[in-house]
């Protein structure tokens, strides 16, 4: 039973994904002209929000950012650095460049969250949902604080759906008794790959008819 190594892997995974999401928070905050506090808070929500919501729902403690408090310092430094960089006006390239670490972060967080929920004995659908929450709710909280409708729910580009697929891949791998590392890898590759493919092809989900009359208030 490689639980220990698996736990280490999960920690490494969660750490690796933090930075990509934190940067997405910095850019979102910069676009809204938040102050330094807002930038750090939004970056922190984007980076740790998904995992924290998952842990609150699963009643798990300590949180990643409590157990590895060093990461709060890393985040602080990251925000200071990113803010000074962004003030030198290279936002748009940053944003495009960020799509790729973000896609990797999505896969990493999804596999991590699903795995944790399965270890906690959650039913398959709940575990997949927890994976999606881990992967997407950082961005959801980021957008809510920035007073926008979460892009994960509104931009018609597959995002949470990639997490959904990746989560089920992990569930299937475990049902098939595959070694844990294989399932994790498969889940990460599937979620990240689907997202990357969607970014490349510009594939979008079916839309509402633009001219459909909204219901009266």
- DSSP classification of residue 159: S
133 vs 185, beta carbon nearer a second copy: 133
**Minimum CB–partner distance for residue 173 and a second copy (Å):** 20
57 vs 104, beta carbon nearer a second copy: 57
Q: For 135, what's the count of Cα atoms within 13 Å in the CB-facing half-sphere?
A: 38
30 vs 184, beta carbon nearer a second copy: 30
The answer to whether 203 and 182 are in contact (CB under 8 A) is no
Contacting positions for a second copy (CB under 8 A): 27, 29-38, 41-42, 52, 56-57, 59, 61, 63, 65-66, 69, 72-73, 87, 89, 91-92, 94-95, 122-126, 129, 140, 144-150, 152-156, 159-161, 205-209, 212-216
**Minimum CB–partner distance for residue 164 and a second copy (Å):** 8
Helix (H) or strand (E) holding 76: helix 70-87
154 burial (CB, 10 Å; 0-12 / 13-18 / 19+) is exposed
**Minimum CB–partner distance for residue 121 and a second copy (Å):** 10
**Minimum CB–partner distance for residue 69 and a second copy (Å):** 4
**Minimum CB–partner distance for residue 2 and a second copy (Å):** 27
CA 38/CA 103 separation, integer angstroms: 24
10 vs 28, beta carbon nearer a second copy: 28
Question: 43-60: buried (b, 16+ CB within 10 Å) or exposed (e) per residue?
Answer: bbbbbbbbbbbbbeebeb
202 vs 206, beta carbon nearer a second copy: 206
Q: Comparing C-alpha atoms, which of 174, 49, 176 is closest to residue 105?
A: 49
């Amino acid at each position: 039973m490689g639980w220990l190594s698996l736990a280490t892997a999960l920690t490494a995974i969660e750490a690796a994904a933090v930075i990509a999401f934190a940067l997405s928070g910095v850019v979102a905050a910069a676009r809204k002209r938040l102050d330094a506090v807002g930038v750090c808070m939004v970056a922190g929500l984007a980076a740790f929000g998904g995992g924290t919501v998952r842990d609150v729902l699963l009643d798990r403690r300590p949180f990643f950012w409590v157990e590895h408090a060093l990461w709060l310092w890393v985040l602080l430094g990251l925000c200071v650095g990113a803010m000074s960089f962004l003030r030198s006006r290279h936002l748009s390239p940053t944003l495009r460049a960020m799509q790729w670490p973000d896609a990797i972060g999505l896969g990493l967080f999804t596999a991590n969250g699903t795995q944790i929920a399965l270890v906690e004995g959650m039913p398959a659908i709940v575990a997949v949902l927890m994976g999606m929450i881990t992967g997407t709710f950082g961005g959801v909280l980021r957008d809510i604080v920035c007073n926008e409708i979460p892009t994960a729910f509104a931009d018609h580009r597959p995002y949470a759906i990639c997490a959904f697929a990746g989560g089920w891949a992990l569930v299937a791998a475990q049902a098939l008794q595959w070694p844990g590392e294989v399932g994790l890898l498969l889940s990460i590759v599937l979620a990240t790959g689907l997202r990357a493919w969607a970014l490349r092809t510009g594939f979008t989900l079916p839309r509402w008819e633009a001219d459909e009359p909204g219901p009266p208030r």
